[in-house]
Structure 1
Amino acid sequence: MLVLLISSCKDSSNSPIIPNVPVDAQLNINSQLYPELRQDGGYAYLPEGYKGIIVVRQSASVFLAFERACPFDPTNSCKLEVDQSRLYIVDPCCGSQFNLQGQVIGGPAIQSLRQYRTSLVASTLYISN
């Protein structure tokens, strides 16, 4: 019985783990560097994180930030990107798809995207883990 309980607690996923790197970034959402962040559904790529960060504007006061490494295989050579339709995020290597809230909508991935904390103070967006 004890063996059954222990084995049921194991992670059934064989996916590699995304390395946890310190993130402490900030950006001015009104900057000319990030024109897409001036509209809902807009996005920007940042170099911080393990493979980078995707910042997505949900509304004028709500921004989400996600790791660009796919939870299915973070060791592949690809970085997640917003699809040309601007409706979802995709991993061009494995084909996994995620909505703009970071949840899986297709592909081999079964875990949501790693999300970073965001805090908007005036026009400065702070991103951390």
Structure 2
Amino acid sequence: MAASLVKAFTTTSKLLSLLVLFLLASCGSDSQGPGIPNVPVSEQINVNSQLYTRLRQDGGYVYLNSGYKGIIVIRQNANLYLAFERACPYDPTADAPCGQVEADQSNLFMVDACCGSQFNFQGGVMAGPAVYGLRQYRTTLNGTLLSIFN
């Protein structure tokens, strides 16, 4: 009798542990940063256009007036472009220019000048107070036409 109670308790404990793990995993969110409103993004730019000459070299970037507080497009290489929301995940609703990320003068990282949060050119946090990386938009390159969307 005691052995069957121990076995039932062990089985119940394992099931409860699995349930807790499942619930914790399902609490995650695809959104990078609380408080950044989801806005529809569907942009297309020609990366060879005179408007975007900085995108002709690796590490080059341009700003677009789209998204919630703007988008920064960064060229990783000739075939890979990344696009990030410029709203700082630390305080995205702050009045401009606060809460808006821009490339640092060194062109080595991005920064919100008001809160001091720094982000690498892959959108990851380098220095806080932000704890979430930048929201990334999807990109596809077809010839010279770059599509940016969510």
- What TM-score comes out, normalization by structure 2 length? 0.76
Partners in 2 of 1:75 and 1:16 — Cα distance?
10
In the TM superposition, residue 42 of structure 1 has moved relative to its aligned partner by 0.1
Partners in 2 of 1:16 and 1:116 — Cα distance?
16
Stretches of structure 2 that go unaligned for 5 or more consecutive residues are 1-19
Q: Percent identity?
A: 62
Report the equivalent of 2:127: 106
SS of the residue 1:34 aligns to: helix
Runs of 4+ with >3 A deviation = 8-11
In the TM superposition, residue 17 of structure 1 has moved relative to its aligned partner by 1.1
CA deviation string 1:28-77 (max 9, x = no partner): 00000011000000000000100000000000000000000000100112
Report the equivalent of 1:58: 76
In the TM superposition, residue 93 of structure 1 has moved relative to its aligned partner by 1.2
Tell me which amino acid in the other structure corresponds to 1:22. Answer: P
Residues 1:48 and 2:66 are matched in the alignment: yes
The CA RMSD over aligned residues, in Å, is: 1.8
- What TM-score comes out, normalization by structure 1 length? 0.88
Partners in 2 of 1:88 and 1:103 — Cα distance?
10
2:114 equivalent among 82, 93, 97: 93
Bigger Rg, structure 1 or 2: 2
Partners in 1 of 2:111 and 2:87 — Cα distance?
10
Report the equivalent of 1:82: 103
Structure with more helix by fraction: 2
Structure with more strand by fraction: 1
CA deviation string 1:69-119 (max 9, x = no partner): 000100112221000110001001100000000000002000010000000
8 Å CA contact 1:68–1:81 kept in 2: the answer is yes
2:88 equivalent among 70, 84, 90: 70
The size of the alignment, in residue pairs, is: 121
Tell me which amino acid in the other structure corresponds to 1:123. Answer: T
8 Å CA contact 1:70–1:113 kept in 2: the answer is yes
Partners in 2 of 1:47 and 1:92 — Cα distance?
19
